[in-house]
Chain A
């Protein structure tokens, strides 16, 4: 029957010229190395496409497993570190153009498809300094950047922003070939600059793309050189062309052209407190706008000494290593002597107590007392003083301690022992003797006392224990840590007594301004001398037996032989110790006296 069918016509062909290749362009805001796009930080990768009059219907970007589909010809692709770990990728863009020729395919959504691909290198460790900075010959901060190149976008201008504060536009540069800019208002502070390029897209709106950003570290450095007991010197670095006004205790100081230091009389040793020092303020303004102070730096200065620790700090000096150790509630430090350079710093978490540290006079060992937050959580840890490695710990729940600062809780002896003082239960006062190499307990001995005595001291040779009890000072004589006798010295010694580190049989006791040297064996006064009235004795230097005393705002160093004054310096510290010829303050400042005293 089909042979009889009505014949249909198939001749309605419409002549439309097939479209030829059309120019398309895609600009990306990403640095390249000439071969690959370089992505070195997480963020937005901006793009702009142009089909020169043709309608872009859709763009599909792909990289790795990620696909972005957009109908906008400008936008950005977010590149995240989690989705794109470092490595090599290919970014492809499939750009679909409307046919726009009225053809059948055009009316049914048929599109011309162009595909562009770029190799991509992702490396988040890489830093590409697209925007750089320098101090130019005119001593001004100059930003420099590379001119970006685009295929269809036209550079209209550059915008310079300062973004470290609330963000503000500093300049607009309309010359596309100018790739540097001088910030005449920069005075030396830390700043972050961002450079944007403003682009004219012939088919679209104006675009603003990041060129890059640069952090300028603070180049104005004002600091204190406080290594002289007579004066402190305020110094500053003068890299930038700008105005500087310097105020000392709110009084302006007249500075000479090019002057970059100022000497002030020192206020004394050892305090970090603002009330003990000068208040220094540096006000910086642009060189051509002296009234526009844009940056200030303040500091306090006046006390001499080197600040080595925050918070309440205690010290000890090790004769073998000739090192000074400092400890606060968090850290234990070691310093070289006399340079006082930091050698080592370890975290110790000493707990809520005043730190106690004690060095061994005959080895490089160092002991630290720790009290935890629970009752009975007490221990003494012994360190190797060279590297601050922990050697062993001795539990000491029975240690006798009333929380007084400066009390000697324990001590090393020259016969390689370690002794601390304890009261166990209802028993009497005891000396606990440990092997200083192994931490093994070896002996214990009784100390005669009618009441609790918190301030007991053992002589460096381990032959005497001195315990001050009221109006009597008791000296317990030991032979191989067995009590062999007792001598009561009828004097009230308070806290200022110690054994002579040069001759351990001598007990040095301060009674007011009178210093008496007792023979520990016999209880007889061997010699005595007086220091200035109202002068307080602080300690005896374990290096040479020199005595450290203070009176009002001065500190004094006396020889132990006859009490002559060796040195007098201004002082602002209260917790003072002279250790190996180094003055230490509980405020965390130290100052070596080798230049002023014989070792």
Chain B
């Protein structure tokens, strides 16, 4: 992680030194779908142990993504640091007069990486671009099993961690409605080529057999400021 940050810093710094540059700051709100096939299996297995016949209510569906970028624009080349946050959840649940059972996993992904964007036109209000980001993704998984039978209830919780590497290529278009402001839309796809096995928080040796795969389509829209 440290090496990656140094590398990104060196790239940005070197570029700035060589040419006249514009600093950028942007925020993108998006929507993503997530593969999470391992987590789906994990949820199914835990649920079947706890309560046969339990129903699935949420299966790690698509959800909003958030991304912030700080970059440097030099002619058509735009590069910088990307920070991202995305989450999803899976849940099996059943309830009746005698009680309730919930098995739930919440997955949080925290991204840190670098991006590179190539503007396909030098001038103009509307500029299409190609985009790619790469970095690490820190997985936080909060699992819980809640059971209430008649007047008694119990809850078991577990916190898991792992580290992925992500790569997200995409295409987009930017509309500059002001000399220093533009809005943009992007379509991409996240790949997690390297996925770590989830382990208990604070105990890397206590590993599970499951991974948190965030792979999926990313659609986003955002605003960018040219400083």
CA distance A5 to B63 in the complex (A): 8
Could you give, for residues 10-36 of chain A, a 1 whenever the CB lies within 8 Å of some chain B CB and a 0 otherwise? 111111111000000000000000000
CA distance A208 to B21 in the complex (A): 103
A11-B57, A105-B149 known; A5-B87 Cβ under 8 A: yes
Q: Per DSSP, are chain A's interface residues mostly helix, strand or loop, or mixed? A: loop
B120 to chain A, nearest CB (A): 32
Determine whether the beta carbon of A8 is less than 8 Å from that of B104. Answer: yes
Could you give, for residues 93-116 of chain A, a 1 whenever the CB lies within 8 Å of some chain B CB and a 0 otherwise? 000000100011111101000000
Query: How many residues in B have their beta carbons less than 8 Å from beta carbons of A?
Result: 30
Which of B3-11, B94-102, B174-182, B191-199 has 4 or more CB atoms under 8 Å from chain A?
B94-102
CA distance A10 to B148 in the complex (A): 14
A4-B87, A6-B89 known; A103-B96 Cβ under 8 A: yes
Determine whether the beta carbon of B87 is less than 8 Å from that of A110. Answer: no
Closest to A109 in B: B149
Could you give, for residues 78-97 of chain B, a 1 whenever the CB lies within 8 Å of some chain A CB and a 0 otherwise? 00000001011101011111
A6-B106, A9-B91, A11-B57 known; A18-B97 Cβ under 8 A: yes
Determine whether the beta carbon of B61 is less than 8 Å from that of A6. Answer: yes
A4-B66, A107-B51, A110-B149 known; A9-B95 Cβ under 8 A: no
Closest to B94 in A: A12
Q: Per DSSP, are chain B's interface residues mostly helix, strand or loop, or mixed? A: strand
CA distance A11 to B91 in the complex (A): 12
CA distance A575 to B55 in the complex (A): 107
> Among the listed A4, A5, A9, A15, which residue makes an inter-chain contact with B96, where contact means beta carbons less than 8 Å apart?
A15
B208 to chain A, nearest CB (A): 21
> Among the listed B52, B64, B89, which residue makes an inter-chain contact with A107, where contact means beta carbons less than 8 Å apart?
B52
Determine whether the beta carbon of B96 is less than 8 Å from that of A13. Answer: yes
Q: Which residues of chain A have C-beta atoms less than 8 A from B147's C-beta? A: 108
CA distance A1 to B109 in the complex (A): 12
CA distance A556 to B40 in the complex (A): 123
Q: Which residues of chain A have C-beta atoms less than 8 A from B99's C-beta? A: 103-105, 108, 110
Q: Which residues of chain A have C-beta atoms less than 8 A from B106's C-beta? A: 5-6
B150 to chain A, nearest CB (A): 5
Closest to B61 in A: A6
A54 to chain B, nearest CB (A): 16
B144 to chain A, nearest CB (A): 11
A-B CB contact pairs (8 Å), 27 listed? A1-B85, A1-B108, A4-B64, A6-B89, A8-B57, A9-B58, A9-B91, A10-B57, A10-B93, A11-B57, A12-B95, A14-B94, A14-B96, A15-B96, A16-B97, A103-B96, A103-B98, A103-B99, A104-B96, A104-B100, A104-B149, A105-B150, A106-B98, A107-B51, A107-B53, A108-B51, A110-B149
Given contacts A6-B87, A6-B106, A110-B98, 11 further A-B contacts (CB under 8 A): A4-B85, A4-B87, A5-B89, A8-B57, A8-B89, A9-B57, A9-B93, A18-B98, A105-B99, A107-B51, A108-B51
Q: Which 9 A-B pairs have the closest CB atoms?
A: A105-B98, A104-B99, A9-B57, A103-B98, A6-B89, A18-B97, A14-B96, A12-B55, A6-B63
